[in-house]
């Protein structure tokens, strides 16, 4: 019998009482499928674990996937509340910030989607636009569910010699856009890997890390597109090296 490595990919989750739960449940199911299709074993990481349990679980995982969801508490990046904020969960922030910092310290592969990009930035000292209306000249980025798979709301320009460029294999992509927040001041530990035409950051990578990439769009909703599937495949391939 051939023995194949099945890397364990931890997937973060939204709280049960998230106001956008119906959408997030659907996206989470697509993420689980995306990880499995890429050859990984999806492991949902529950909220509410003690730090000891979370740390022990983290140690067993070969890679992490940070999912989309509600907004981070602006106090985490030194900002005041804003009327556009929604779905803030202190428990989710606490869990994911710990995991993101452990990913950096351990060199463990990680991929972030939407909120995942914002999480990376806040975890390493960056700030966010609490609402994209705070960015002068912003395009529309907050499309609804109709934009998930059918439409391509905007392009992204990909920076050369990034993990993203290597995975996608082309200098530009059309992507979906379901976010009302974005990165503002980029953390020094991160490198910008893609931008929208209005200058907003659409992807970042941890500098000096083997595989820690986060994108602002939702590749899980675009499984028919090979370059979007490659983001999941890249995570699983990197995790396979870790777990080997
Ligand atoms: Mn966008």
Q: With bands split at pLDDT 50, 70 and 90, how would you rate the model's confidence at 179?
A: very high
* pLDDT above 60 (res 1): no
Concatenate the DSSP letters of all residues of 111-125 into one string: EEETHHHHHHHHHTT
pLDDT of 87-121, one tens digit each? 999 999 999 999 999 999 999 999 999 999 999 99
Of 142, 125, 139, 144, the closest CA to residue 184 belongs to 125
Single out the catalytic residue among 14, 114, 141, 148: 114
Answer yes or no: 218 catalytic.
Answer: yes
* pLDDT above 70 (res 244): no
Torsion 18-64-190-174 (CA) sign: negative
Single out the catalytic residue among 205, 220, 221, 233: 220
Provide the β-strand partners of residue 64.
Answer: 10, 110
Quote the pLDDT of residue 144.
77
Quote the pLDDT of residue 147.
64
Burial of 125 (0-12, 13-18, 19+ CB in 10 A): middle
Burial of 46 (0-12, 13-18, 19+ CB in 10 A): exposed
pLDDT of 39-78, one tens digit each? 999 999 999 999 999 999 999 999 999 999 999 999 999 9
Provide the β-strand partners of residue 111.
Answer: 65, 213
Q: Where are the alpha helices (DSSP H) in 61-123?
A: 90-106, 115-123
Task: Compute, in angstroms, the gap from residue 55 CA to the centroid of ligand 1.
Answer: 33
**37-41, 82-86, 136-140, 215-219: least confidently modelled range:** 136-140
CB of 107 closer than 8 Å to CB of 56: no
Answer yes or no: 221 catalytic.
Answer: no
**How far is 112 from 59, CA to CA, in rounded Å?**
19
* pLDDT above 90 (res 175): yes
Quote the pLDDT of residue 143.
87
Report how far apart, in Å, the C-alpha atoms of 45 and of each of 49, 55, 133 are.
9, 11, 33
Answer yes or no: 174 catalytic.
Answer: no
Task: Compute, in angstroms, the gap from residue 187 CA to the centroid of ligand 1.
Answer: 19
* pLDDT above 70 (res 207): yes
Task: Compute, in angstroms, the gap from residue 75 CA to the centroid of ligand 1.
Answer: 24
Alpha-carbon dihedral 202, 206, 211, 215, rounded to 10 degrees: -10
Quote the pLDDT of residue 151.
60
Cβ burial 168-186 (10 Å sphere, 16+ → b, else e): beeeebebbbbbbbbbbeb
Quote the pLDDT of residue 150.
61
Task: Compute, in angstroms, the gap from residue 199 CA to the centroid of ligand 1.
Answer: 10
* pLDDT above 60 (res 3): no
Model's pTM, two decimal places? Answer: 0.96
Task: Compute, in angstroms, the gap from residue 174 CA to the centroid of ligand 1.
Answer: 10
Q: With bands split at pLDDT 50, 70 and 90, how would you rate the model's confidence at 135?
A: very high
- Mean pLDDT of the chain, nearest integer: 95
């Amino acid at each position: 019998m051939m023995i194949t490595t099945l890397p364990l990919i931890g997937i973060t989750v939204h709280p049960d009482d998230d106001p956008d739960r119906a959408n997030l449940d659907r996206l989470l199911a697509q993420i689980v499928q995306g990880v499995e299709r890429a050859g990984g074993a999806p492991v949902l990481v529950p909220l509410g674990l003690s730090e000891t349990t979370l740390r022990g679980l983290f140690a067993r995982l070969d890679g992490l996937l940070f999912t989309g969801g509600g907004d981070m508490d602006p106090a985490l990046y030194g900002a005041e509340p804003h009327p556009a904020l929604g779905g803030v969960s202190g428990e989710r922030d606490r869990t994911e910030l710990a995991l993101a910092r452990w990913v950096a310290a351990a060199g463990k592969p990680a991929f972030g989607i939407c909120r995942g990009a914002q999480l990376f930035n806040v975890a390493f000292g960056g700030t966010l636009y609490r609402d994209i209306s705070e960015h002068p000249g912003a395009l529309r980025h907050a499309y609804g569910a109709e934009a998930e798979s059918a439409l391509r709301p905007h392009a992204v320009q990909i920076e050369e010699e990034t993990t993203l460029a290597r995975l996608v294999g082309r200098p530009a992509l059309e992507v979906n856009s379901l976010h009302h927040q974005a990165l503002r001041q980029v953390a020094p530990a991160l490198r910008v890997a893609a931008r929208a035409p209005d200058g907003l950051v659409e992807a970042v990578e941890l500098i000096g890390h083997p595989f820690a990439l986060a994108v602002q769009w939702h590749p899980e909703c675009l499984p028919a597109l090979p370059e979007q599937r490659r983001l999941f495949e890249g995570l699983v391939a990197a995790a396979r090296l870790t777990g080997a």
